[in-house]
Chain A
Amino acid sequence: MRFSNTIGAAFAAVALFAATPAAKAALLSPQDEESSDESGEEGFGEDDGPETHYFAVRGADVYTGTGEVLRGATVLAKNGRIKAIGYDVEIPGLDFQADVPSKERGYTAEVLDAAGYRVYPGMVAIESSGLLGTGGDYRDSIDPFDQNMILGLSTGITSTGQSNAACKLKRYISQDPPVPYDFDGIVLRDDCYANFSWGSGSARRSVREKLVRASEYLREYRQWQIDVKNDKELKEPSKKGVDNSVLDVLQGNVLAKFRADSREDLLGIARIAQEFGFRPAIDGCREGWTVAAELGRAGAFAIVTPRERRDKSEMLVREGGSSIENAAILYAAGVQVAIKPASRGISLGGITGRDIMHLPVEVGFAIRGGLPEDAAIAAVTTVPARMMGVSHRVGTLEVGKDCDLIVTDGDLLHYQTFVQWTVIDGQVVYDKQDELYFAHIRPRAETEVAPLRRLDAGENEEAAEEGDSEADGDDDKDKQNGKDEEE
């Protein structure tokens, strides 16, 4: 038995047998499927300790971001990582062990009932400003109580690029008694890019010189790696004059990031990227639509603002300037497109719909220009995650990834849709009805059962003492069944 590595957990499992013989269940994560036969509780008990926490959102239409949509499915997370997505996913503390006191279970559990809502991966903003502090290095300025961070979460943004790092919007969660804010877990990755300046002739020359020197060094180094096997005395090639960040780019460790808009600059970047064999990320890319094929061949990433509008210079006969079709044309040519809004901060001046809080509106403009809807959602989830090198953690809902998700009351890209709950690392960090900002706008209907519940058998025991003999896990089940019938 794989689960019995702690006595407490084994005890809990035994208790489970007695209480719910019908629990057959297995979580639909790959490692569990292999051995899910009669015993039925693989995956529980294993590694479960007092710190173990399960979080589940069930009943919603799950847009995984990988192409699949699972209607009325469950997402289950264990300690902040997604453990299972699918149907018939049994939730610890609810579908079994419901009447085992949580102290004896060896874990805590929470469930969010979200039938009628949609679940999407939390959005990954390719860049933003002011969500993690007032500016500069987030480490120095982060305010875990910041209104901007809450508004970011209300938008559905769970991760963002800031400065050169990929960060999570880690909000301070009140606890009783209070605990100090823990800075751990904010940073997904530091140093996501090597920033290259391409704005002037001398800048372009400097980029080329650095690339030449670094690729020269790499060639020498690789040759040395071969030769040193025969001649142990052979001296390692000199690293003198080699720019480490450029070396990282050539080795594929980080993306080279450029800021460029004009067709000529874009072509220059595509050319040099292919010459030295790296994939460029191009911020701006306004005239990308005129050279999309070249950018596609160079394997470029583009960070675009679809609604940006700029006329080309009257001096130019060639086509140019902005086009609403930019994102769509780039995407069709194989460029990986990420979207940033017209204004990357939170704007509370009253002019609404252009800032990071309205990122989905910006995405809408890319669709207006012809970008397919799935590519449009990818532009604020998977593509930014990939660009920042954190796609193994965030960007889609997949088993093993961080449980960063949002629950919306409709199509994420519809202007009327509000994020109802935002979840980071399997913890609800934003609830529309609990915050002042938007609770009054099309408020959620009150339900008999609170949508978000801690699955604590202790509470039920107290109820039992008061004489409600039925108040146990079965009660929850009945409610759930009733709900299912209604559907």
Chain B
Amino acid sequence: MLERPATPALRAARTGLCAVTRLAFGCAVTCVVAGAAWAGSGVALDAAKALVCSAEGPQSIDGARLLLEDGEIIAIGSASEVEIPAGFEHVDLGKRWIMPGMIDLHSHISGAFDINDTVFQVNPGLRVSATLRPGNRDHEVALASGVTTVLYIPGSGSNVGGVGVLHQTTSGTYEEVLVRDPGSLKVAQGDNPARWGYGMGRLMMNHHIRSSMRQGKAYAQRWAAFESGAGEAPDRNLSLDIYRQLESGETQISTHTQYYQVVLASLRLLRAETGFDMYIDHGTFDSWKLGPLAKELGVAAVLGPRSVLWPRPPRFDSDGRAEGAAWGFQQTGVDRIGFNTDAPVVPQHELTVQAAMGVRYGLDDAEMAAVRGLTIVPAMVAGIDDRLGSLEVGKQADVLVVTGHPADPRTSVERVYVRGELVYDAEQEVRRW
């Protein structure tokens, strides 16, 4: 792993230091070093295929070339069309492919599992950013598996667990790994939060959630009115501040919601009644049958870790078929389908298996739904697609070098660039993943 400079002063010299560190690794990463003036300059990656994953347009380029400089993608196209500027390091990746760094919108690996402070049943004021510890072992493996960005969120021990944080899996200070805080407001329905205490059932839980949503909405609207010049400044309420960002669309609600009845409640409580931006998180078992409503309300589905409804009567209306959640949502017209691990429920580094299982159990991958569900879809869902999720000019250079289709367990991740820096190289040591 490349060390990141520890202080802001040193950070200013990052590019130069990074180059030195690269030299210290004996240039093992470079196949061709074009000239001596490469230090501090950009990198040109030539790959057999680039999985572009743009929101719209062509999804892949054969014989691709990608230029990255100062942490950004500055060009991508066919190798015959993109010229390598003078001073760029030229890396010929041969048969390997390149793709965007992967994003997991449901992860718990970034702290010490101190993410279930459930003194109250509803805790919109809590923030997991207080417990984030970048650079742990799980992050190291996540990075080696190509997961470069995660949404670290509270557990589902209470109905509103608190505010998550979107961050990168690289090492560094909080500021250095931060993508966005607040990453989301975590809401949990069904099952887990019912364990909060005696007598807690769905009626009470829905009541609590609805109360908090209504309170928060009203609070946010008072602030919005004040900011547009109407009325007095409301009293600051730290428990409700997150709703201001939800109201303004700066963040989303990520909802632990898993089967039909519960997802139906999610769509009503968190979306139809409030107008907040929310997405179905988990969305397993028979919940895909709500696909048409989700589509109508513009709600995305980020699926996992349970990806298949297995014949398990009598709880679910199942005729014995194995039904993939991704297949179901796709069938019913939901166009944004992502994958998650709920790490460590499924290990963070097995995110790609979630996509593989989606395809195995019926997801049509003809339009690259599997890869999109690991990259651009979660980026769009979390509202970070202006910076992450695809290999497009102007985006942050989070680039993976892979040996084939990323969903295939046989495919290995050979290199990982985050913000243009090579942060993982499989050739450096015996691989952990």
Contacts and interface: CB of A to CB of B under 8 A. Distances in A.
Contacts of B284: 350
Contacts of B346: 351, 354
A350 B347 contact: no
A318 interface: no
Interface string B341-359: 0000111011001101101
B236 interface: no
A147 B311 contact: yes
A364 interface: yes
Contact of A415 (B308, B310, B409): B409
B306 A309 contact: no
B356 A350 contact: no
A436 B319 contact: yes
A351 B320 contact: no
B409 A364 contact: yes
Most buried by B among A322, A351, A414, A439: A351
A361 B409 contact: yes
Contacts of B327: 441
A441 B362 contact: yes
Most buried by A among B321, B327, B410: B410
Interface stretch (B101-109, B162-170, B425-433): B425-433
Given A350-B308, A350-B310, A369 B431 contact: yes
Nearest to A362: B409
B306 A352 contact: yes
Contact of A309 (B311, B361, B430, B432): B432
Interface residues of B, number: 42
Interface in B285-299: 285
A416 B362 CA distance: 9
Nearest to A373: B410
B319 A416 contact: no
B213 interface: no
A368 B410 contact: yes
B330 to A, nearest CB: 13
B409 A348 contact: no
B141 interface: yes
Interface string B399-411: 0000000011111
A371 to B, nearest CB: 10
A289 B410 contact: no
Contact of A351 (B307, B321, B356, B407): B307
Contacts of B357: 352-353, 415
A350 B320 contact: no
A266 B347 CA distance: 27
Interface in B99-117: none
A235 interface: no
A440 B321 contact: yes
A329 B346 CA distance: 26
A356 to B, nearest CB: 14
Contacts of B431: 323-325, 369
A307 interface: yes
B326 to A, nearest CB: 11
B309 interface: yes
B352 to A, nearest CB: 10
B312 interface: yes
A353 B141 CA distance: 19
A413 B321 contact: no
Nearest to B282: A350
Contacts of B137: 311
B259 to A, nearest CB: 10
B407 to A, nearest CB: 7
A442 interface: yes
Contacts of B141: 309
B42 interface: no
A440 B433 CA distance: 34
Contacts of B77: none
Nearest to A437: B322
Contact of A414 (B319, B354, B408): B408
B432 A415 contact: no
Contact of B321 (A321, A322, A324, A436): A436
Nearest to B345: A351
Given A365-B409, A368-B412, A348 B310 contact: yes
B360 interface: yes
Nearest to B359: A416
B305 interface: yes
A351 B305 contact: yes
9 contacts: A309-B432, A329-B430, A348-B311, A348-B312, A350-B309, A353-B357, A362-B409, A367-B409, A441-B362
Interface of B: 137, 141, 284-285, 305-312, 319-322, 324, 327, 345-347, 349-350, 353-354, 356-357, 359-362, 365, 407-412, 430-433
Interface of A: 147, 289, 307, 309, 311, 319, 321-325, 329, 348-354, 361-362, 364-365, 367-369, 413-416, 436-442
Given A311-B137, A367-B410, 19 more contacts: A307-B350, A307-B409, A309-B141, A309-B347, A322-B432, A348-B311, A349-B306, A352-B357, A352-B361, A361-B409, A364-B408, A365-B409, A367-B409, A368-B410, A414-B408, A415-B357, A415-B407, A437-B321, A441-B324
